[in-house]
Homo-oligomer: A and B are copies of this chain.
Amino acid sequence: MTPWQAAKIGDPVQAIDTPALILDLAPFERNLQRMALALQGSAVRLRAHAKSHKCPEIARRQLALGAVGICCQKVSEAAVFVAAGILDIVITNQVVGAPKLLHLAALARQARIGVLVDGPEQIAALAEVAQAQQVRFDVYVEVNVGSNRCGTAPGEAAAQLAQQIAAAPALHFAGLQCYHGSAQHYRQPAERAAAIALTCDAARETRAAIERLGIRVEQIMGAGTGSFQHERDSGIFTEIQAGSYIFMDRDYAANVRAAGELVFEHALFILTTVMSRVEPSRAIVDAGLKASSVDSGMPGVWQRDDLQYVKASDEHGVINTPAAESLSLGERLRLVPGHCDPTVNLYDEIICVRDNQVEAIWSVAARGALL
């Protein structure tokens, strides 16, 4: 950890040491409200994905506005949120191996814990640990709806897994996970609409196959920031799992929006300082690979279309500049991360700012919770 903090509460933004992860509270709160409003009057509930923020302070604000619970991606991530009092969590992932299953059982003594499966061996292992530890898991079948990552085939294959879950005394078949991850980032609205239409077909077909076995499908979950209005309006989804809407990264902002599609605002930034200014056409800032994940492209420079962040090394960022006078040594910029989730995971704290002042500092309590 950094042996000192980048800022303290009450500091002006200008006094924050860099690089620092800052959350602009006004657009963040508008994003929270916008999502809550988008689901108002619908039967679909938000189960916010906490892998984006790893921060209990943010999860509480999502629950306060109507989220039914949260998603986590790892058992240890969920443990951090349970310890913080978040008591309805679905781990939207497969959980494999004895150490993880024992930790999962320990969590299920304290909270409502859901977990995904996409094969019979995982169900057998969950059933065994639940029985031995005298806990109950809510188990969802993950269906491959087009992302070709985890997930069983839709229809009969999924129905067989549902039947196996329903037959296990310590497991409860809770429904389906139908998340189309790749579709979130299809640039054209028509591509996203078409992909989610197929997702909904797969979900309907699978639900029907399971219901033919006399098994009830309580929940159908999925969706993300890039597509959730389609799932909301599908008549089949019951919970949506958007996470990035609170922050908005550069990659999501690159999606072309359809008419009527909700727009979320950039609220999360990396504050950085120009630390070298030798060539007129080049500035070097103090935020590199360890300050901003570049897996989905370089960060953008906020409200400075004349500047391009073009290259990152460990602790340097190279910015192309039109002229020497466009940026001076010591000047500070806000960067918009290419991908928020792995960027937040690089920081111990989120520095929350409003009206040019540090209002709060929130712990990224689940940072590094990989197990």
Interface band, chain A: 35 or more
Please state if B276 and A119 are interface contacts (CB–CB under 8 Å): yes
Query: Quick one: CB contact mask for A288-308 with B, threshold 8 Å, 1 for yes?
Result: 011101110000000000000
**A118: interface (CB < 8 Å):** yes
Chain B residues positioned under 8 Å from A18 (CB to CB): 97, 371
- The answer to the question of A284 belonging to the interface, with a C-beta cut-off of 8 Å to chain B, is yes
Cβ of A249 < 8 Å from any Cβ of B?
no
Contact B97 A330 (CB under 8 A): yes
A175 within 8 A of B: no
Q: Does A348 interact with chain B (Cβ within 8 Å)?
A: yes
A312 in contact with B295 given A2-B369, A278-B118, A329-B121 (CB within 8 Å): yes
* Residue among A118, A341, A370 having the largest count of chain B Cβ atoms under 10 Å: A370
Q: Which residue, of A2, A15, A99, A348, has the highest number of chain B Cβ atoms within 10 A?
A: A2
Question: How does the 8 Å CB contact mask read for A113-134 relative to B, with 1 for contact and 0 for none?
Answer: 0000011011000000000000
Q: Is the CB of B369 within 8 A of A278?
A: no
Does A274 have its Cβ within 8 Å of any Cβ on chain B? yes
* B73-A314 in contact (CB<8A): yes
Task: Kindly report how many copies of this chain are found in the complex they form together.
Answer: 2
| A291 cross-chain contacts in B, Cβ below 8 A | 370
For A99-115 the 0/1 string (1 means CB < 8 A from B) is: 11001000000000000
Majority secondary structure of chain A interface residues (helix, strand, loop or mixed): loop
**A180 sits at the interface (CB 8 A):** no
Contact of A96 among B4, B273, B314 (CB under 8 A): B273
Q: A93-B315, A148-B318, A289-B295 are in contact. List 7 more A-B contacts (CB 8 A).
A: A2-B368, A4-B371, A97-B330, A119-B277, A149-B316, A151-B278, A314-B342
Residues of A within 8 A of B (CB): 1-4, 6, 15, 17-20, 51, 73-74, 76, 79-80, 83, 93-97, 99-100, 103, 118-119, 121-122, 144, 148-153, 181, 273-279, 282, 284, 286, 289-291, 293-295, 312-316, 318, 329-330, 339, 341-342, 345-348, 367-371
14 contacts between A and B (CB under 8 A): A2-B370, A4-B76, A4-B79, A4-B103, A6-B371, A17-B371, A18-B97, A97-B330, A144-B278, A150-B284, A151-B278, A289-B293, A290-B368, A315-B370
